[in-house]
Structure 1
Amino acid sequence: MGSKDHATRNRGSSPDKRIADIAARQHGLVRIQDLRAIGVSAAAASRRRARGLLHRVHRGVDAVGHVALSREARWLAAVFAAGKGAALSHLAAAEFWRLRGARGSITVVAPRRVRIEGVRVYRCNHLDPRDVTIRNGIPVTTVARTIVDLAEVLTVSQLTNVMYEAEHWNLLDLDAVRATAERLLGRHGIAVLEEAIDAHLKGSAGTKSDKEDEFHALLGDRVPKPIANVKVLGHEVDAFWPEFRLVVEVDGPGHERPRARRRDRSRDRDLRDAGYVVLRFTDVEIEQRPGTVRATLRSAMNGMPTG
């Protein structure tokens, strides 16, 4: 054991005890600077890795005692690896705030260029302190900043769903979202953000599944965009064109169950009795016959060509 380790021990506790104490506050992680601060040299850290006491997660970041890291530990490890001023952001921040499910790689925003295996790093020369908070020991972009960032990587309907979830968890502050966007003038996603806010205010919950995303994508530019997951006569419908009184439902395998079929028939009857046109498309039709789906939609819309 190096002289610095002995010095640390002489200050009242062993290096391993102090490492464990630090890790307990950091989701089981220690950084190279944490080790240096308590007098553990690079050579001493290497010996601990050889003995299985430390496990390299990213450059400069180790897990203490095991590699079965929680999701929170992996988030924090990525933030640590990205360096000072970094924070969890974009889709990972949305997952953190329970606004969207896990979507692959972890995402962070950082003031410097850095490559981290398995992590998507967005560079931001200066991350405004107002846009970052620390929750559960993890630096993460605020909900408002997260929504503005996501406008660059999500569709309007997907971002609308993020807002819907934020409102569900009492986390949505549209004034804060708008103020954040104004401070970030020039962002490519501003138009998407404005459309999503408008859809949210109209009652849309956005798209809630991959199949609904596929349906909206296949519409292209030749079919007007619907309002996603909005209530009509008290029923939440997958897609709604108020100007055509047209409702579309995207049916996955679960809609084949007897109970679901009875519920669907009852909903459709209520809507049709009130003068709405109701169309249903299966996920197979959306995936394999998008042209047919578009043609059916256009024929249902007053005055639109079917070709």
Structure 2
Amino acid sequence: MHRWAAHDHVAADDQTGAVEALRRCGARQAGRFTSAQAQRLGCRPMTLRRLRAVGEIEPVRQGVWCFVAAPADGLALDWETVLAAGAGAGLLVTLEEDDADALAEPEQRDGLAVLSGATALDRMGVTRAAAHDRTDVLLQGKGRPRVPWARVHRTRHLSGSDVTVRFGPPMTTATRALVELTTVLPWADVVALLDDVVCARLASRSWANRRAWALRPGRPRVQWLIDVTEPDAEPDFRSWLERTFGDLVVDAGLPRPQWNVAVSDERGRIGVVDCRWSRSGFARDLIVELEGLRFHTAPAQRRADAARFNRLTRRHAVLRFTWEDVVRRPEETVAQVADRLRLP
């Protein structure tokens, strides 16, 4: 019995089971349900009117109801949005079996509305994906939902493999959200979000690559995701990063460094550093290490890199820059190099 289930006497004998099923449906949807769901569960319009008359339910959006005792929070608003935008989402979660099974049925996806884009990533905990003031919703089909508080995007087909219910309301998977964002975000933002998604284990690198290939037709900028998730992408990305940093150094009028130099200490070889400035008259050379995408590097390699950095700092001045430092903050990055070149 749910905490809002206090009015069983309002239902006719043959409606008691339908009302209980409706309460279970609401319990899975932050206390929200649609008129279509109620009808599918066997609730007659008269029963809804009676539940409303005794104060158990009330309308919140066109075609969407809520149990009065349920909280009106952000989760509830998300449910109201997907339920108001598409009847398919409402039908999806009335089923007793696993929601993932329902997603595999084409008739259940007709008219499906799900949270998408920056909104979906934000709900998954990818804080870099700043959600807009309006909720992003992806709608399959040609319906015209009345959801002025949301930003509605459309797709002709939404595969069940691109939808998840792990985080509450139906929403696109992290990979599908990234695909949608390639149409509105620059390359650096998309790649940074991809790095966050893979490191948070919201998608594996190989899965992101497979889905990007599958969703690429008609979306040329999805190639960005493919390029950095290919199995052999690390060397190309590092070469690009070194070229980009080298151009910054030249454009700033700084001395040219040596690239990919082997460095040793009293314990032996430390490794190959990205670039090194040999400074006559100074006790320590300047070394710059460039860090690529986090998911391009295994945890064991990151531990080895940290140990190498500690050895380098004993004899050299060392600066470390992420790829985002180079791409997003180029002036600040070269300014740090220039300042360090002037210091002993």
> TM-score interval w.r.t. the shorter chain?
0.5 to 0.7
Q: Shift in Å at residue 65 of structure 1? A: 0.9
Match of 2:117 in 1: 90
- Max radius of gyration: which structure? 2
Q: TM-score, normalised by structure 2?
A: 0.54
Give the conservation status (yes or no) of the 8 Å contact 2:11–2:50.
no
Give the conservation status (yes or no) of the 8 Å contact 1:91–1:150.
yes
Q: Shift in Å at residue 92 of structure 1? A: 1.4
Matched, 1:123 2:159: no
Match of 1:8 in 2: 15
Structure 2 CA distance for aligned equivalents of residues 55 and 201 of structure 1: 55
Matched, 1:36 2:65: no
Structure 1 CA distance for aligned equivalents of residues 238 and 66 of structure 2: 47
Give the conservation status (yes or no) of the 8 Å contact 2:56–2:68.
yes
| Compared CA separation, residues 193 and 38, structure 1 to 2 (3 A) | closer
Match of 1:295 in 2: none
Q: Shift in Å at residue 127 of structure 1? A: 0.9
SS in 1 for 2:133: coil
Matched, 1:114 2:144: yes
Q: Deviations over 1:141-199 (max 9, x none)?
A: 11211111111122222212212321331224333223222222111533554677689
Match of 2:130 in 1: 101
Q: Shift in Å at residue 67 of structure 1? A: 7.2
Structure 1 CA distance for aligned equivalents of residues 53 and 332 of structure 2: 57
Aligned CA-pair RMSD: 4.0
Structure 2 CA distance for aligned equivalents of residues 151 and 275 of structure 1: 41
**What residue ranges of structure 1 are gaps of 5+ in the alignment?**
205-229, 251-266, 277-307
Q: Shift in Å at residue 69 of structure 1? A: 2.5
Q: Shift in Å at residue 64 of structure 1? A: 1.0
**For 1:134, which of 165, 178, 195 is the aligned residue?**
165
Q: Shift in Å at residue 62 of structure 1? A: 1.4
Q: TM-score, normalised by structure 1?
A: 0.60
**For 2:331, which of 248, 254, 261 is the aligned residue?**
248
Give the conservation status (yes or no) of the 8 Å contact 2:11–2:47.
no
Matching residue's letter, 1:190: V
Structure 2 CA distance for aligned equivalents of residues 106 and 59 of structure 1: 17
Q: Shift in Å at residue 56 of structure 1? A: 2.5
Give the conservation status (yes or no) of the 8 Å contact 1:131–1:142.
yes
Identity of matched residues, %: 21
| Compared CA separation, residues 167 and 233, structure 1 to 2 (3 A) | farther
Match of 2:222 in 1: 190
Give the conservation status (yes or no) of the 8 Å contact 1:156–1:193.
no
Q: Shift in Å at residue 275 of structure 1? A: 7.5
**For 1:53, which of 51, 56, 74 is the aligned residue?**
56
| Compared CA separation, residues 239 and 27, structure 1 to 2 (3 A) | same
Give the conservation status (yes or no) of the 8 Å contact 2:122–2:131.
yes
